Amino acid sequence: MKELQEVDFQKLDNQLCFPLYAASRLITKCYQPLLKDFELTYPQYLVLMVLWEQDKVPLNYLSEKLYLQSNTLTPLVKRMEEMQLVTRQRSKEDERSVLISLTEKGQSLKCEAKEVPTQLVANFDKMTTEELKLLHQLLYKLIGNFEE
Amino acid sequence: MKELQEVDFQKLDNQLCFPLYAASRLITKCYQPLLKDFELTYPQYLVLMVLWEQDKVPLNYLSEKLYLQSNTLTPLVKRMEEMQLVTRQRSKEDERSVLISLTEKGQSLKCEAKEVPTQLVANFDKMTTEELKLLHQLLYKLIGNFEE
DNA sequence: TACTTTTATATCGTGAACGATATAATCGAA
DNA sequence: TTCGATTATATCGTTCACGATATAAAAGTA
């Protein structure tokens, strides 16, 4: 078995980052037909998932959860506001913060889109439950590596 | 231990796709300071890696290797042409194909950027070699799932 | 050969991502 | 209290990504 030090890292197949990048896009693409029924993009769906767990949060709460900055989230959330999924209001305690809240339409999507994750998992039928769990753990460990 | 069927998939932390998405972006961000020395973006670097292994290939070869379509690759490669990294020429055997070749500048980057991957791996210092190998394998298995 | 189909790129429009920077509110220290 | 530093968003510009569609060449077929 080759040691890590001997591997030619300039080969695409040996990169760790490339399969991450590819897998991420492939799975996002799998979400698309499922989310299309609700006129949602994947990042918009992520914002909803955060809000379904904790409603009425400042933008920087979304930022921390999703690892996205205001330059991405501000326009994204504004589009969701136009779609009547969320509302944005300045916090009275701290005028710098903008509180994002679910509208009724945004809340009702939680039930309506309930089957999306299970429908998605069907795509991983060639991987065992153990493998999926392990992958999940390793990815979170990797992410934790960057939160010093 | 919870069975997969019992997990609440509508919670962000239980999603497999989200850590993939997050990890991919986090690592791409790690590449950026390293690639900045060469004025490269990460997708441009990926194109170079493919060409370093096999030069003068049609666009659809890049497409297959990187899982990117012509609507992404055409403008991306054109920018690389403007940067004098590659040349584009219609194939004489098949006028539909565009052959992408490295310029001298593009070739010389292979040596100049040699240390980029090893510099990047330094960011994974909290993960063992075994874990990284395992992650690599699982990701390729996942990707393989989508190549029916 | 004439036609349909397939294949390889390209174009267009939209929505992320993100570096750099701006703006305004709050905090903190002298 | 005053003013510099920090914090929370927002704006701008560039580069992906990708669905939908267009175009032209090549391949297949009657």
Per-residue pLDDT of B57-115, as tens digits, reads: 999 999 999 999 999 999 999 999 999 999 999 999 999 999 999 999 999 999 999 99
Fold of the B12-144 domain:
Arc Repressor Mutant, subunit A (1.10.10)
pLDDT at A146: 76
Nucleotide closest in space to A100 (CA vs C1'): D9
Q: What angle do CA B32, A26, A18 make, to 5 degrees?
A: 35
The CA distance from A50 to the nearest CA of chain B, in Å, is 7
Given a contact cutoff of 8 angstroms between Cβ atoms, the answer to whether A117 and B15 are in contact is yes
Residue to substitute from A135, A140, A148, interface B, most B β-carbons within 10 A? A135
Does residue A6 register a pLDDT over 60?
no
| Full-model pTM | 0.91
pLDDT at B124: 86
Compare all CA atoms of chain B with the CA of A2 and give the residue at the minimum distance.
B133
pLDDT at B5: 52
pLDDT tier for residue A125 given thresholds of 50, 70 and 90: confident
Residue to substitute from A5, A9, A52, A128, interface B, most B β-carbons within 10 A? A9
For chain A, give me the number of helices (H) and strands (E)? 7, 3
Does residue B10 register a pLDDT over 80?
no
For chain B, give me the number of helices (H) and strands (E)? 7, 3
Per-residue burial over A118-142, b if 16 or more Cβ lie within 10 Å, else e, is eebbebbeebeeebbebbbebbebb
Q: Which residue of B12, B28, B114 is in closest CB contact with A50?
A: B12
Q: Which residues, listed in sequence order, are joined to residue A57 by a DSSP beta bridge?
A: A100
Tell me the pLDDT of chain B averaged across its residues.
91
pLDDT at B142: 93
pLDDT tier for residue A115 given thresholds of 50, 70 and 90: very high
A64 CB inside 7 Å of strand D: no
Share of chain B above pLDDT 90, in %: 77
pLDDT at A14: 72
Share of chain A above pLDDT 90, in %: 77
The CA distance from A60 to the nearest CA of chain B, in Å, is 16
Tell me the pLDDT of chain A averaged across its residues.
91
